[in-house]
Chain A
Amino acid sequence: MTYEKEITEKIMKGESTSDRLEIPLLKYLWDAGPISFLSKEGYHDFFKKIPVLSSFSDNEVRLFTKFLHRREFQPDEVIFKQGDTGYGFYFIFSGSVNIFANYNPQGNEQGELVIKLDSRQYFGEMGLLEEYNRRTATARAGENTILLGIFKPDLERMLELHPVLGAKFLREMALIMANRMGQLTREIVSLKKKLKELELKG
């Protein structure tokens, strides 16, 4: 439920909205507003348009952005390499990211382009959740790209400081993982089907 809805419902029910003014929240809402010229970052709008985080209230988005790290990458710059230890999860704020997989780990080549990710997409969630994660693909910036990353220490800090927000974020991460698992299962089924067809033909 968004902050606006929450307040509207309270007013409709005749409940008190708040006993004191929350200056940081007001400042944030002002900065995030469409008429504000102070909204340099635009994180609020960005996260509101990411479906998987749509359940976050305005205040939760405000708190969530405090745990993020803004990283800028130049075209073709490596974000992480296949086989590297993974620690973080990235949202693409602007630009694009190319994911390459090298099916021959002994070879030095860049690998095959698996997918191109654009703004508002995300990658690297396994790095945040697994204890000892190895990146299964290489990520390179497609153009001048800004990423918003969250890393293991940030997640631990979030769970410590704002457990409800942390749990909510983990739930969304579980949803992302479940979606990926669903995609993989469908792909395996389709590949098995193709294999069977080939066997029957052969």
Chain B
Amino acid sequence: MNRNQKIKLYLFTLIMSMAVIFAITFPRLTLPFGFAYIIYLMVRPLTVRLITGSRRQRILYFFLVLTGSILILLPLAATIYNIDTSFSAFTQELPEVQKVLQEKFFALKLKVFEKYGYRINVEPVSYIMIKIETHGSDLLTQIPNYLSHLFEWLLLVPLFLYFFFMESRRSSNKLLEAVPNIIFEKSYVLFSQFNTKFGEYMIAKFIEATILGTIVTIGLSIIGFPYALVLGLIAGITNILPYIGPVLGVIPALFIALLSKDPNASMAGMLFVFAIANLIDIILVFPLLVSKIVNLHPILVVVSIIIGSQLGGIVGMIVIIPFIAFFKLLFIEIYKDLSVQL
């Protein structure tokens, strides 16, 4: 590599690093930008067939974004109040849940001591209780926060989305011109593959979460279980996470069941609804929609989700999977190259 090529590579790395710093510094701008990009990747295959190449492209994309915003975002914004109220009521019941769990635990501790003379250590259980209290309330209070930003996003997301539809090709070509020759071919192909996989993964997960969330909401409403909408929403969102998602989704419902007058009956009904929803997901939805898109080892998925949650909370947990799939692709390519050179 000569001097000019090295300067170009360093300059490109510097610009990329600055872009990352900008993204981290201004999350109120970069988050809707990223969200709009995800939606763009999700709907691109459909719009490409319908609109690109048409003579009235600009007008069609404008109406598509406008109609999409009205059809999806406005009803969501209208239901924010209901969801927010339910979430507030739900989080207010968390201390009650903690109290019930503590009572049950101490009763069990006493029983064990009376029967076997063994004293159960309290510290790990108290630690879990504190964790449930802090993390549980954090997790639940974050969701209404995300939803309350919807009004701001209502303006920004369609604006960015329209930009992606109209200008993405031209802008990405301009950006690609700045990529040094030495890494161009590989990075362009990997970036395109990642975009396609990411879009496919997100749309598959969105459909899967919607189906599961709807089944859980309807099922819980039928059996008269409280907070059916909130629990359905939580089950849908957590289901986006492979393997541990279904388990996480059922935990808030378990706590609610413990508070009811007849815990055993409501727990059995609730578990039946979740079992049916997850069975439909495992047998029908997952094999048809998701399985072929992300081919990762279960242990890698669980480790990735833990890392994702540490880096970016719920969003990090969801988004980390396609990124790990991308890095897997990248490592395979690098490994193939190295194996040829050695």
Contacts and interface: CB of A to CB of B under 8 A. Distances in A.
Given A70-B177, A71-B184, A134 B340 contact: yes
A74 B48 contact: no
Interface string A68-102: 01111110011110011111100000000000000
Interface stretch (B99-107, B188-196, B262-270): B188-196
B60 to A, nearest CB: 15
Q: How large is the interface on A (under 10, 10 to 19, 20 to 34, 35 or more residues)?
A: 20 to 34
A83 B192 CA distance: 22
A160 interface: yes
B193 A153 contact: yes
A87 B52 contact: no
Contacts of B192: 151-153
Question: Which of B5, B49, B181 gathers most chain A CB within 10 Å?
Answer: B181
Nearest to A149: B185
Contacts of B169: 66
A85 B336 contact: yes
Question: Which of A86, A88, A149, A153 gathers most chain B CB within 10 Å?
Answer: A153
A77 B184 CA distance: 13
Contacts of B167: none
Contact of B189 (A66, A71, A87): A87
Contacts of A151: 185, 188-189, 192
Contacts of A66: 169
A58 B218 CA distance: 58
B5 A74 contact: yes
Interface in A144-184: 149, 151-153, 160-162
B53 interface: yes
Contacts of A149: 185
A157 B135 CA distance: 45
Interface string B173-214: 100110001101110110011000000000000000000000
A70 to B, nearest CB: 7
A153 B184 contact: no
B194 to A, nearest CB: 11
Contact of A84 (B52, B181, B193, B337): B337
B204 to A, nearest CB: 19
Given A69-B176, A153-B193, A160-B48, A88 B185 contact: yes
B146 to A, nearest CB: 33
B224 to A, nearest CB: 49
Contacts of B340: 83-84, 134
B4 interface: yes
Given A79-B181, A153-B189, A85 B337 contact: yes
B172 to A, nearest CB: 10
A161 B181 contact: no
Contacts of B25: none
Interface in B44-66: 48-49, 52-53, 55
A153 B184 CA distance: 13
B333 interface: yes
B49 A87 contact: no
A74 B182 CA distance: 12
B145 interface: no
Nearest to A24: B55
Nearest to B52: A161
A84 B186 CA distance: 10
B2 interface: yes
A71 B337 contact: no
A22 B55 CA distance: 8
Interface in A84-125: 84-88
A161 B341 CA distance: 37
A161 B53 contact: yes
A83 B342 CA distance: 11
A164 to B, nearest CB: 11
Contacts of A83: 337, 340-341
B48 A152 contact: no
Contacts of B52: 161
A87 B186 contact: yes
Contact of A71 (B55, B181, B186, B333): B181
B181 A77 contact: yes
Contact of B182 (A20, A78, A152): A78
* Closest 10 pairs between A and B when the two form their complex, measured CB to CB: A153-B192, A83-B340, A87-B189, A87-B185, A161-B52, A88-B185, A161-B53, A152-B189, A71-B181, A151-B189
26 contacts: A66-B169, A69-B173, A69-B177, A69-B188, A71-B181, A74-B5, A78-B181, A78-B182, A79-B181, A83-B340, A84-B340, A85-B336, A85-B337, A86-B185, A87-B186, A87-B188, A134-B340, A149-B185, A151-B185, A151-B188, A151-B189, A151-B192, A152-B189, A152-B192, A160-B49, A161-B48
Given A84-B340, A161-B48, 4 more contacts: A69-B173, A77-B5, A85-B186, A149-B185
